[in-house]
Amino acid sequence: MTNALALTGIRKSFDGFLALNEAHVTVRWGEVHALLGENGAGKSSLMNIAAGLYKPEAGELLVDDNPVRLQGPRDAARHRIGMVHQHFKLVRPFTVAENILLGLAEPDPPQGYRQRLAEVAQRIRTQAEALGFAIDPLARVDSLSIAEQQRVEILKVLLAGARILILDEPTAVLTDQEAANLLTTVRTLSRQGAAVVLVTHKMADVKAYADRVTVMRGGRTVATVDPAATPVAELVRLTVGEGVPAAAGPTGARTRGAPLLSVRGLATTASGGQRALDGVDLTVHAGEIYGIAGVGGNGQGELAGAVMGLARDLNGELRLDGADLTRVPPSARHALRIAAIPADRYSHALAGTLSVAENFGIGQVQSGRYGPFAWLRQRRMALDAREAVAAFDVLGVRSVAQKAALLSGGNAQKLVIAREFSRAPRLVLAHSPSRGLDVRASAQVHARLRAARDGGAAVLLISEDLDEVLALADRIGVMARGRIVAEFDAPADRQAVGQAMTHHD
């Protein structure tokens, strides 16, 4: 079996920080090769070099056993390398077909634009059906859920003809069945001769679908092993250096406080004219975690937007402790001690070009803690940010003056939580809070949500990861077709919840 992709002796630094040092990985044709490591271990940086996004300072890249120097992503595409990023690279106002047509980059097609677009739309339908995806090629990307956008990214790479596929956390926003369908398809592609790199934190996926696994830690390659012959405990040890004890899930009814968040008949219309929310009814009490489970695209994103104050043309009731929230702007909601952890942390929670301190301090600028806006007390903001970074274990922060974009996904998420929890919240909205995070970072995020609940806050957890909902929620509401179709008390039966997610009126 020949090598499809090999990186050896790779070194890369950012702003003086050595992100990769003598990193290496070799991927063979016809295999699924998993890449494991904590957030910040260097996995994405290494794969971004393979995809032509970064240039290494040292080391060698081989494609099909031939040394190459990639000049950019299009050069990588010419070598049939395609990467599906954890944070999507889609043009939100464009349709699915328009986004994929942009990615094809075929020179001077003989037919007209409309005919070409129609042809691409048909190819999307065919490929989506093969993958088991439900995607409308004519839908605008900004009307799609996070899970649906992930599927578009996967389709874009496959339709561009990639034979070396790099998938960064591809199942993070998929349901169990969707993930199984995708990974089965990925394995089939590898058996047909493709080479697949699967960047994932899910040990079950590695054990079930990977032929080999390379583990990274601290920017270095730790080991490459056969996952079938390596116990999960050993994979965890290699990944994090030590075991991370699993927190016990909810065991039954808890003593909860009075109703805090009340949603009645909440309705809104998506850009396509269909009801995104169609009469949502739910109540979240103080001192409980209410989990929303469901297949992506059933209104979860619109519900999160409504709670954050981002929804337009909202009908129905949304009340916090009896007070109407429907027309309250997002800034005022923060003053009401509503903490928001959105699904897309880089689009809706952080400004990557601003510093860590600025991203942290912006949560209290309007409170006056840092003085008037035109003359902010930068030293006090930096001091608060340093204390929060330490308290919330935000790693990779060499200085709070560094750009937030340099943080790994897990540490960016912890920065968001540090800011949102800087004042004890009354209500916490957590939308896919551990999406793309490793075992340790996920455990820390979950611990913070439990601590907020135990401190008397009402926590609304929205997640397409059923394991996450079952582990955290005291009550579970299943969302389908824009409404709550079933509710369960913890401990809930997984099969019953799954059936409610996929079988409903």
List the CATH number of the domain containing 295.
Answer: 3.40.50.300
98, pLDDT greater than 90: yes
17, pLDDT greater than 80: no
Strand order in the sheet with 315-320: 275-285, 259-269, 315-320, 323-324
- Quickly count: other Cβ atoms within 10 Å of residue 149's Cβ: 21
Name which residue leads in pLDDT, 164 or 379. 164
Predicted pLDDT of residue 41? 81
Predicted pLDDT of residue 435? 74
The distance between the two most distant Cα atoms of the chain, rounded to a whole number of Å, is 68
CA angle 491, 493, 494 (to 5 degrees): 115
Q: Tell me: do 283 and 207 sit in the same domain.
A: no
Q: What percent of the chain has pLDDT over 90?
A: 44
454, pLDDT greater than 90: yes
DSSP codes of every residue in 90-145 = --TTSBHHHHHHHHH--SS-SS-HHHHHHHHHHHHHHHHHHHT----TTSBGGGS-
CA dihedral over 65, 67, 72, 78, signed as positive or negative = negative
Q: Tell me: do 234 and 116 sit in the same domain.
A: yes
**Residue 249 belongs to some domain of the structure:** no
The secondary structure element, H or E, covering residue 316 is strand 315-320
Q: Label residue 232 by pLDDT band (50, 70, 90).
A: confident
Q: Which amino acid is at 366?
A: Q
491, pLDDT greater than 70: yes
Q: Label residue 246 by pLDDT band (50, 70, 90).
A: very low
Residue after which a domain boundary falls, among 212, 240, 268:
240
* Strand-strand pairing, 259-269 and 315-320: antiparallel
Nearest to 265 by CA among 413, 4, 483: 483
- Considering only 34-43, 381-390, 448-457, which range has the smallest mean pLDDT? 34-43
177, pLDDT greater than 80: no
For the whole prediction, is pTM greater than 0.75?
no
Spatial separation of the C-alpha atoms in residues 151 and 142, rounded to whole Å: 14
- Considering only 22-31, 206-215, 335-344, which range has the smallest mean pLDDT? 335-344
Q: Tell me: do 167 and 34 sit in the same domain.
A: yes
Predicted pLDDT of residue 181? 79
- Considering only 78-82, 112-116, 145-149, 376-380, which range has the smallest mean pLDDT? 145-149
Q: What is the DSSP letter of 169?
A: S
**Residue 236 belongs to some domain of the structure:** yes
Residue after which a domain boundary falls, among 207, 240, 273:
240
Residue after which a domain boundary falls, among 240, 268, 285:
240
In the block, tokens 């309007």 appear at 366
Q: Tell me: do 211 and 358 sit in the same domain.
A: no
Spatial separation of the C-alpha atoms in residues 121 and 124, rounded to whole Å: 5
Distant-in-sequence contacts of 386-394, Cβ < 8 A, 24+ apart: 388/360, 388/415, 388/418, 388/419, 388/422, 389/356, 389/360, 389/415, 389/418, 391/418, 392/417, 392/418, 392/421, 392/444, 392/448, 393/444, 394/356, 394/418
Q: Tell me: do 399 and 478 sit in the same domain.
A: yes
**Residue 254 belongs to some domain of the structure:** no
How many separate domains does the chain show?
2
Q: Once rounded to an integer, what is the mean pLDDT over residues 433-441?
A: 75
* In contact, 471 and 501? CB cutoff 8 Å: no
**Residue 149 belongs to some domain of the structure:** yes
Q: Once rounded to an integer, what is the mean pLDDT over residues 245-249?
A: 50
Spatial separation of the C-alpha atoms in residues 310 and 303, rounded to whole Å: 10
Q: Tell me: do 31 and 97 sit in the same domain.
A: yes
Domain coverage including residue 181: 3-240
Q: Tell me: do 268 and 203 sit in the same domain.
A: no
HSE (CB half, 13 Å, CA atoms) of 392? 29
Mean pLDDT of the chain: 86
Joined tokens for residue 75: 């050069």
223, pLDDT greater than 80: yes
Q: Tell me: do 116 and 67 sit in the same domain.
A: yes
Nearest to 58 by CA among 8, 125, 111: 8
Q: Once rounded to an integer, what is the mean pLDDT over residues 149-164?
A: 88
In the block, tokens 């600025």 appear at 358
Buried-exposed string 298-330: b where 16+ CB fall within 10 A, e elsewhere: bbbbbbbbbbbbbbeebebebbbeeeebeebee
Predicted pLDDT of residue 332? 82
Q: Tell me: do 121 and 25 sit in the same domain.
A: yes
**Residue 481 belongs to some domain of the structure:** yes
Q: Label residue 242 by pLDDT band (50, 70, 90).
A: low
Q: Which amino acid is at 34?
A: A
